[in-house]
Structure 1
Amino acid sequence: MNKVILIGRATKDWELRYTPSGVAVANGNIAVDKPFTSDGERKADFIDLVAWRKTAELAANYIRKGQRFGLEGSIQVRKYEKDGQNRYAYEVLVDRIEFLESNRNGNASEGQDPFANDGKPVNLPDDDLPF
């Protein structure tokens, strides 16, 4: 079984591009907090991410640097050559994204839930109530 579940913060905006055949692919990075160390410092792991198709477009359109989100996916290893040496890149292939806080620009059309409870009272006339 190869399953990864992470919660963290985006370290940058996702980069969206398209393959020559028109398939969306996006790359991002997530900082996942580790427990405090003995000297009280907080550390994080920085993990490379890749998403394809609709998941790629969703990530690129709605996840911004510093935004907290969760994801499910799997580890994949990419082999490539650099300076005549074989290299390996480990990254998470993202299958599913869950937004854990609203987009920071405050625009509901940018991924916020327009029906979310914002703590403000709702003024409804009695005629609008179903009872």
Structure 2
Amino acid sequence: MMNLNVVNLVGRVGGEPEVKYFESGSVKCNLTLAVNRRTSKSDQPDWFNLELWGKTAEIAGNYVRKGSLIGVQGSLKIETWSDRTTGTNRSKPVIKVDRLDLLGSKKDTDASAVDNYSGQGTEF
């Protein structure tokens, strides 16, 4: 039996990227992504929490802004923690991003700033 955990999303970034540098040298970036449903334009979008690491996190921090159109591929994980105040167990789904595509038009993205930029999007 094959196990598969692959998530593909295309949407607009909901806020400025939060980039964190660790003493170990690793880099983490958190983003929120709003994805419209196919069924109706008037529906509220679905919101996803994205977690990016390493070079992909740095690219996101440098080139992604609130409102940017991006595509991501990654896997779903469920983060769990204990609420500090109540002690209640909490959880939230997070997409751990392996691949980031910048999908904006040339005027959305500074073409000179991104290597090999094409109107089709840039893969990192």
TM range (shorter): 0.7 to 0.9
- CA pair 21-56 structure 1, distance change in 2 beyond 3 A: same
- Kindly, what percent of the aligned residue pairs are identical? 33
Q: How far apart, in 2, do the equivalents of 1:76 and 1:30 lie?
A: 16
Match of 1:52 in 2: 53
CA RMSD of aligned residues (A): 2.2
Match of 1:12 in 2: 15
- CA pair 115-91 structure 1, distance change in 2 beyond 3 A: closer
- CA pair 114-70 structure 1, distance change in 2 beyond 3 A: closer
Match of 1:124 in 2: none
Match of 1:109 in 2: 112
CA contact (8 A) 1:67 1:104 kept: no
**How many equivalent residue pairs?**
114
- CA pair 25-106 structure 1, distance change in 2 beyond 3 A: closer
Q: How far apart, in 2, do the equivalents of 1:62 and 1:22 lie?
A: 20
CA contact (8 A) 2:30 2:52 kept: yes
User: Normalising to structure 1: TM-score of the pair?
Assistant: 0.76
